[in-house]
A and B are shown apart, each in its own frame.
Chain A
Amino acid sequence: MADVRFDHVYKRYGEATSNVISDLNLHVRDHEFLVLVGPSGCGKSTALRMIAGLEEITDGDLFIGDRRVNDLDPKDRDIAMVFQNYALYPHMNVFDNMAFSLKLHHLEKPEIDRRVRTAADMLGISDYLARKPRELSGGQRQRVALGRALVREPKVFLMDEPLSNLDAKLRVQTRAEIAKLHQTVKTTTVYVTHDQVEAMTMGDRIAVMNAGIIQQLGTPQELYDHPSNLFVAGFIGSPSMDFFNARLTKSSGGAASVVIGDGADAHTLALAGEATREIAGQATTDGRDVIVGIRPENFSLAGDSTADTLRGVVEVVEHLGNEQLVYLRIPGAVVPASAETQGSTARLPANARIELGQPLTLAVDTSKIHVFDPATTNRFI
Chain B
Amino acid sequence: MDAALAIPAWRANLATIAALMARAKNELLRVPGAAIPGVLAPTIFFLGLNGVFGALTQLRGFETGSYESYLVPVSMLQGAGFTGAAAGVNLARDIEQGWLDRLLVSPAPRWVLLAGTVLAASARALIPATFVFAMALPLGAAWPGIDGLLVAYLMVAAIAAVAACWGSMLALRFKSQSAAPLMQVGMMGLILLTTAYAPLALLQPWLADVAEINPATEVLEAARQGFVGGVTWAGTWPGLLALTGLLALFGALALREMRRTGV
Do the two shown chains form a genuine complex with each other? Answer: no
Interface residues of A (CB under 8 A from B): none
Give B residues with C-beta under 8 Å from A.
Answer: none
